[in-house]
Amino acid sequence: MDQEEKSRPFVVSRRSFIQGAGAGVAGAAVLGGSAAVVAPEEAEAAPAALETQGPGPVKVTLQINGKRHTVEVEPRTTLVNVLRGVGKTPLAPDQVLTGAKIGCDRGSCGACTVLVDGKPVYSCLMLAVDAEGRKITTVEGLARGDRLTPIQRQMVEKDGYQCGYCTPGFIMSLTALLEENSKPTLEEVQMAVSGNTCRCGAYPRIFEAALAAAKKGA
Amino acid sequence: MPRKIKTVIVENGFEKEVEIEVPDGPPASWGDLNKLRILGKRNPRLEGPEKVTGRAKYASDIVLPGMLYGRYVTSAYPAATIKRIDLSPAERMPGVKAVLPIKEAGATVTFAGEPIAAIAAETPEIADDAIRAVKITYEPKRFVVNPDRALQPGAPLVRPDVAGNLSQTGQAKEGDVDAAFKSAYATIEGVYEAQTRLHCCLETHGHTVKWDGDKLTAWSSTQHIEGCRNDFGSLAGGPDKVRVICEHMGGGFGSKFGASLEGITAAKLAKAANAPVKLMLTRADEQYHNFRGPGARVHVKLAAAEDGTLLASDVVTFNNGGTGNASTRMDEGFFIIKPQTVRVKKQSVLTNTGGIAALRAPGHPQAAVIWDMALDQMAARLNIDPLDLRKKNHNDNVRVAEWDLGAKIIGWERRQRVPGSARGVVKRGIGMGSATWGGGGRQTADSTVIIGRDGSVISYCGVQDLGTGVRNYVSGIVAEELGLELDQVEARIGDTTYGKGHGSGGSTTTPSVAPAVKMAAVDARDKLTAAAAKLLKVKPEEIEIVPGGRFQVKGKSGKGISWKQLCRTLPEKGLKAYGLWNADLAASGVRGCNFAEVAVDTETGKVTILKVVGVQDCGVVLNRLQAESQMTGSIIQGIGTALLEHRHMDNLTGRMLNPNFEEYKLCGALEAGGVNITMDPPYRTLEPEEHGIVTVIFDNPTGKVSGIGEPAVVAVQAAIANAIYNAIGVHVAEQPATPDRVLAALARKNGATA
């Protein structure tokens, strides 16, 4: 018996489900993997007017770490991919920001966490076109020159990592926490990073770093 | 005279203990450890600022002009013959720059997710479209993904040459096991299962590859840059045409040796497209692909005398390695604690679930959890303290001291004297497990130190850092030797142009690399001492180095030369020092143990980690902070193994149901057991309500370095499994202890006693 199939019919990404459902808010609400990192749609205060874009590449202007960048990308391109240099006319090589990592590309590991209007967001679950007009902060935008932020300093001091691949995501989630709550408890720290995965298993030291950063004053 | 030492080598990604002959180098020593200024201290890692600012570059972060994105086209079937592959619809798509068959028509696939072809396109999105455009015609075959079904008569054969799907069978016997069972005071019998686990490196496998004519540069996410270089060399016409760079990598855990299929595929795509290619596996491809640590189901019968002496073990193993031959340490019929007689029948069961790769202490955590569960079962049967049972049958001084220390810290006295005897819905329990690991160093690394006229020092090593903190000792050993501070020596690693490359497997990196760095540092010190002696007109033996890098005549602080002054007298190119591995500086063979306290909710089956204590020896500690981090990471991975990590295979489709992180659950922040509790001697007992992770490096004065990354993970799952047993009075013999399995175990227990 011969059977012809598309090569991978069984892999349904969370993103393609959301796209397929056509209603991003509902999809995200059903599937949101983490209580701590808000789904991009929830970070939005007012619903944007419906507007058709694409399917070909469109111009998108993004405000990243205080600088405006215009790229040309397909509307389906995720924010993390644009930050990391993907697109028809991508970010210039010296402007590419690879601090936000791709670990799962479906909103469960948190390695791609960035701040959008101050809230931690999985940038693999947000389309770049939806980030237009928002204030995007990546891990590269935290330190002033060599001056690290308190949480960055404490992550170094306490050895809150091993391979470091998840570190930018943890730092963004903790930056948002400390911005909102300068004296978090251990439980609040744990909740804040419950949407971030560290396979090397540095959590106990990350908690230490966050609590120490809060103590030293953010 | 050459002599023989035991060490671990990595063969096809698998650690294997071998005896090697080493030439005698000059005598070497780490010196008086109490006088060390840098080594052994808790120094933050040098690359920290890069990692917390996003500046650290991983293979997946490399972006080159005109770079394409590579993706696999994978098999939808767990077993099939490929009748036709039509790549042309993909080829014709705008933005697709290269399409490459990996398998040809007529070839077979043996697991779902097996790569069949590859695409390189201008964006990952276009590559994904192209995957969907490829037309593959399969002739599906019967398959089996469940080891029990694989052993049934008439089961489809995973490999046509292996009858009954049983590969790698064997038997061994030591002593008269049957007589021992007959004379025994007590016997127990159980079937224990350690699960198959996925590596789940947060950075998936992959490389960014670029050709310049016939020269190839690869940025690789790898545990062995030199291995990658050799593999790529097969395409480039020799390793000398290849440069491999790995400044940082996002986790390997045993699965990232060599260029592998994805590296070779990236290089071929790059050649075909005449453009650089980045091929990082998608998460689903990563989870499906053939990288996983084998599971094992083991039938254990144990016999003991009334005083706890273990008289015999009778063991049958069923290892589950998918399409590969799997083994664990239970194939020896015991683990660490050896009965007087042993009989074992070992076998590896084949299934259509992909192959295996080394996974952090291959075969050890499985053996620990199985054997330690059986030991606690016997201790309960005999009504003796589980720690006493182990001591009765094992008398290694270091191990016993480690057990006692772990027991003291956790508060062993608070355990349930009778497993499951605690009252209430949420029951607490304390358990333990034991670890062992070979490790050791070998002559695979060299080190070069360049000292400039400006006083700069660069320490080069062709090794990669998996996140264990290699840079700190590549710098620190040199700084220590020359009287400098850590930040005065720059470590350069992660590039095949920096020297011989050691493969980071088997916890052999530090014992292989650190001695070479030490010998280079000694060479630098000797050369600088000679130069200083000449300038000061004394004999070299009269020179001493004081902190700050000042070379002076012994005891005469007024007669000397500062570091800057001395370096200014060096030749224009500076001074080059070189070192090779020295067997005096490295050791193999470490012990370790874990103790855990858990709370088990007997209504929901949920297990909460309250405390985990790790006690581990590793000889000379080069950086205490990072050694402790490796132990902490081991404990967290062990918690995930004990409670969460579970691959689900679908018997109907032969596919993995959870090739992701949502349903293949890793230990997260909420399961991690709380903060890190740093302890220094004298060690104290944790308060009953004090929760967290304690890592103690046991001071075993070998005077030599050993690795710590793998031994520290071995006994964590075992300790947690026994803590659960201590709490509820029944083992969750089929790991991991997910709530459904905890409840099922409780139901079995209650049914049996009702």
Altogether, the residues listed in chain A come to a count of 218
Residue B74 pLDDT level (bands cut at 50, 70, 90):
very high
Among chain B residues, the shortest Cα distance to A114 is held by B54
Characterize the bridge pairing of strands B457-461 and B489-492.
parallel
pLDDT (0 to 100) of residue B9: 63
A50 touches B at CB < 8 Å: no
The C-alpha atoms of residue A195 and residue B19 are separated, in whole angstroms, by 46
Residue B698 in this model has a pLDDT that exceeds 70: yes
Q: What is the mean pLDDT of chain B?
A: 95
Q: Cβ–Cβ of A165/B251 closer than 8 Å?
A: yes
pLDDT (0 to 100) of residue A7: 44
A204 touches B at CB < 8 Å: yes
Q: Cβ–Cβ of B675/A2 closer than 8 Å?
A: no
Rounded alpha-carbon distances, angstroms, from residue A153 to B48, B190, B490? 9, 51, 20
Q: Which residues of A touch B76 (CB under 8 A)?
A: 5-10
Residue B22 in this model has a pLDDT that exceeds 90: no
> Which range (A42-46, B560-564, B590-594) has the least confidence?
A42-46
At residue A55, what is the residue type?
P
B354: left (phi over 0), alpha (psi -120 to 50) or beta: left
Q: Which residues of A touch B251 (CB under 8 A)?
A: 163, 165, 199-200
Peptide bond into A55 cis (omega under 30): yes
Mean pLDDT within B395-422: 97
Q: Cβ–Cβ of A204/B76 closer than 8 Å?
A: no
Tokens 């998460």 map to which residue? Answer: B283
Among A163, A167, A170, A215, the residue to mutate for chain B (most B Cβ within 10 A): A163
The C-alpha atoms of residue B385 and residue B380 are separated, in whole angstroms, by 8
At residue B219, what is the residue type?
W
Report pLDDT digits (tens) over B303-346: 999 999 999 999 999 999 899 899 999 999 999 999 999 999 99
Report pLDDT digits (tens) over B587-615: 999 999 999 999 999 999 999 999 999 99
The DSSP symbol for B184 reads -
For chain A, give percent helix, strand, coil, nearest 5: 35, 15, 50
A5 touches B at CB < 8 Å: yes
Q: Which of B641, B644, B590 is nearest to B619 (CA)?
A: B590
The C-alpha atoms of residue B484 and residue B476 are separated, in whole angstroms, by 9
The DSSP symbol for B572 reads T
A154 touches B at CB < 8 Å: no
pLDDT > 90: percent of chain B: 92
Q: Cβ–Cβ of B56/A194 closer than 8 Å?
A: no
ipTM value: 0.96
Residue A23 in this model has a pLDDT that exceeds 80: no
Distance from CA of B320 to the nearest CA of A (A): 24
pLDDT > 70: percent of chain B: 98
Among B43, B53, B634, the residue to mutate for chain A (most A Cβ within 10 A): B53
Among chain A residues, the shortest Cα distance to B639 is held by A201
A111 touches B at CB < 8 Å: yes
Distance from CA of B119 to the nearest CA of A (A): 13
Distance from CA of A78 to the nearest CA of B (A): 10
Is residue B186 within 8 Å of B306, Cβ to Cβ? yes
A157 touches B at CB < 8 Å: yes
Report pLDDT digits (tens) over A86-132: 999 999 989 999 999 999 999 999 999 999 999 999 999 999 999 99
